[in-house]
Amino acid sequence: MTYQERYDSYLAMLEPALKACFGEERGFDFDGLLDAMDYSLTAGGKRIRPVLVLEFSRLLGGDVEKTLPVACAVEMLHTYSLIHDDLPCMDNDDLRRGKPTNHKVFGESTAVLAGDALQAEAFGTILRSALPAERRARCAEILAGAAGIDGICGGQFMDLAAEERTFSAEEVSELQSRKTGALLAGACMLGAAAAGADEAAIDTAAQYGAQLGAAFQIRDDMLDVLSTESELGKPIGSDKREGKTTFMSLYGEAECARMVDEISKMAVQTVAGIDTDGFLSEMAAKLATRMK
């Protein structure tokens, strides 16, 4: 199976599962809230994080079907973070994945609640899955680490602080390791944990995910300068307008490109022992040269 065939097979599992997440009757008329949650969860995107969950589970001997709820959970958490990042009190963006942001469609209050509910449902989805209890507990622990102070929330707080002063290179790296890298690393760890892998394998997954996240964010900073709004599906140039220190403002295009290449090669080396058919290596290479 080629890289694209396997990726497409994962998407064929994920998309209907995500669409079915919030379909049951709830008594009170929650349609507005459920619509807001569904709007952002099913808005498309590359689904990198849930794909990584499924691939690490497969490589480490897990049952991909039983891992599917964990993959959906990581996408719920990712979607919550995007909804909240876009809010007027955060990044104040109008466009996400080529569509109006959640608060532009449903209002700010509903968008906040949609994000809150998606975060809670992410943990519920893992804990209600058919995985053995110890695997569910380990997965919930991993997801909590990716979401909290050491992950998305801590990273977003640092991102807001970056609007007030110039960050050092070390601070920018720490910010992005939390805001972007933590959930990518967490997705890889979740796949390993869902498969029942030992802690050494989970650590390898974490290292690959962190390296992938570092390269991904540097490339993202490059695209914020070099790409177009139509290509990215979101506003560009916002970092410069807000006076934020980024990898591009620190190092410039040529050095950023070199760093992406070097870190991506490190990621490939990290998983050389388990990446039996090269899927993870090809993913690293493709993300290093992505245009959106």
Look at 98 and 113; give whichever has higher pLDDT. 113
As given in the structure block, the two tokens for residue 10 are 């994962």
Query: Three-state DSSP class for 24?
Result: coil
Write down the domain spans for the chain.
3-288
Handedness of CA 223, 246, 53, 192 (dihedral sign): positive
Q: Does domain 3-288 have CATH number 1.10.600.10?
A: yes
Cα dist. 226→223, 275, 292 in Å? 5, 32, 10
Average pLDDT, rounded, for the chain: 91
- Under the banding of pLDDT at 50, 70 and 90, the label for residue 238 is low
Type of residue at 36: A
What is the mean pLDDT of the segment spanning 29-57? 91
- What pTM, to 2 d.p., does this model score? 0.92
- Percentage with pLDDT > 90 across the chain: 72
Type of residue at 290: R
DSSP-assigned letter for residue 165: S
What is the mean pLDDT of the segment spanning 152-161? 90
Res 147: pLDDT: 96
Please state, in angstroms and rounded to a whole number, the distance separating the CA atoms of residues 144 and 147.
Answer: 5
